[in-house]
Amino acid sequence: MWLYALWGFIGAAVNCGVVFAEALRRVKGWPWARPKGPGGAPYTAAVATEILGGAATAAALSSADFLTPTVLTAFLVGAAAPAVLKRLGAYLLSILPGPGDSGGSDEVP
């Protein structure tokens, strides 16, 4: 299982590298630099969370019985996990009641 977690880690790191390259082009500099960016510590925490989420997702799916674990599958799951987890988090935040709300919203992001 650790091998699949490692390949999921590598896949998520590749995904973060692509997102980082896009951010460099968009902001024309380091994406974490102040005053436009969040700073180094929050940026590092976000990248670490995405990479570890990819590794954990690949490890969990490789131990499931419905998926045949291969290195390619673990890499692809790790690469897709940050985007899927981001969407899932946005959806969960949209259905939670906000301050002053009596219920969740019916809109899906």
d(CA 103, CA 79): 34
Which among 93, 106, 86 has a CA at the least distance from the CA of 15?
86
Report the pLDDT value the prediction gives residue 29, as an integer from 0 to 100. Answer: 80
Domain ranges of the chain: 2-90
Tokens of 18: 């692509």
**pLDDT tens, residue by residue, 21-57:** 888 888 888 877 777 777 788 888 988 999 999 999 9
**pLDDT tens, residue by residue, 46-100:** 889 999 999 999 998 888 877 788 889 899 999 999 889 889 989 998 888 877 6
Place of tokens 């436009």: 36
Which among 97, 86, 83, 94 has a CA at the least distance from the CA of 18?
83
